[in-house]
């Protein structure tokens, strides 16, 4: 109950202008201010990591199961790329609403990595959907893209974790 005033924001320090519909939406659903990005990032991490797992299972020699793990890997890839679009979109929304588009070094790395993730994901989907994966070296490029996507999404998760729970003392 005894809060002391320590200062005030000058007009140039106040929150960047948000359109009326965003202000209204946030007033009715305050969780939109913080939660969409942390919630949405879990999906690409799971889907793209699972795509790698299914691709590795597909490559095990001497498989006798009637399960086509490569198809499962492709489905996980599709879901991973689609959910990555949502995760990147909510990341920019959070950057806009909460941080006024200020980009510390970690955020710049996350943006660059996310763009690489989306490009690599779309490329992998195109290679697999067009059947180019049947061409020897292109098949290996596809496999390397799946590995890179899993590593990229885990790296992005690590960078995001460093923003929330830094391991280095500030």
Average of per-residue pLDDT across 109-126: 95
Backbone dihedral region for residue 131 (phi beyond 0: left; psi -120 to 50: alpha; all else: beta): left
How far apart are the C-alpha atoms of 60 and 76, rounded to whole Å?
A: 19
Q: In this model, does residue 139 exceed pLDDT 60?
A: yes
* 153 band by pLDDT with thresholds 50, 70 and 90: very high
Average of per-residue pLDDT across 38-44: 90
Q: In this model, does residue 15 exceed pLDDT 80?
A: no
* Domain chopping of the chain, boundaries: 43-163
Write the pLDDT tens digit of every residue in 64-74. 677 889 999 99
Write the pLDDT tens digit of every residue in 89-98. 988 888 877 7
Residue pair 117/156 in contact (Cβ under 8 Å)? The answer is yes
Residue pair 33/26 in contact (Cβ under 8 Å)? The answer is yes
Q: What DSSP string runs through 78-93? A: HHHHHHHHHHHHHHHH
Taking Cα atoms as reference points, which of 83, 82, 88, 92 lies closest to residue 22?
92
Q: In this model, does residue 126 exceed pLDDT 90?
A: yes
Q: Using a pLDDT cut of 70, give the percent of the chain over it.
A: 89
Q: Using a pLDDT cut of 90, give the percent of the chain over it.
A: 48
* 122 band by pLDDT with thresholds 50, 70 and 90: very high
How far apart are the C-alpha atoms of 24 and 133, rounded to whole Å?
A: 48
Backbone dihedral region for residue 62 (phi beyond 0: left; psi -120 to 50: alpha; all else: beta): left
Average of per-residue pLDDT across 47-53: 96
Residue pair 127/133 in contact (Cβ under 8 Å)? The answer is yes
Angle formed at CA 117 by CA 113 and CA 119, multiple of 5 degrees: 120
Q: In this model, does residue 142 exceed pLDDT 80?
A: yes
Average of per-residue pLDDT across 128-154: 94
* 147 band by pLDDT with thresholds 50, 70 and 90: very high
Per the prediction, the chain carries an average pLDDT of 86
């Amino acid at each position: 109950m005894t809060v002391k005033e320590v200062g005030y924001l000058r007009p140039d320090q106040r929150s960047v202008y948000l359109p009326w519909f965003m202000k209204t939406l946030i007033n009715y659903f305050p969780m939109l201010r913080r939660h969409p990005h942390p919630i949405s990032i879990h999906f690409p991490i799971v889907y793209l990591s699972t795509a790698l797992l299914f691709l590795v299972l597909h490559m095990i020699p001497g498989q006798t199961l009637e399960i086509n793990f490569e198809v499962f890997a492709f489905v996980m890839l599709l879901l991973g790329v689609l959910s990555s679009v949502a995760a990147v979109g909510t990341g920019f929304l959070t950057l806009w609403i909460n941080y006024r588009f200020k980009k510390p070094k970690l955020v710049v790395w996350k943006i660059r990595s996310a763009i690489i993730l989306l490009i690599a994901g779309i490329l992998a989907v195109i290679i697999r959907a067009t059947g180019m994966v049947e061409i020897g070296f292109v098949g290996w490029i596809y496999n390397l893209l799946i590995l890179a996507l899993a590593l990229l999404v885990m790296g992005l998760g690590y960078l995001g974790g460093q923003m929330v729970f830094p391991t280095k003392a500030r």
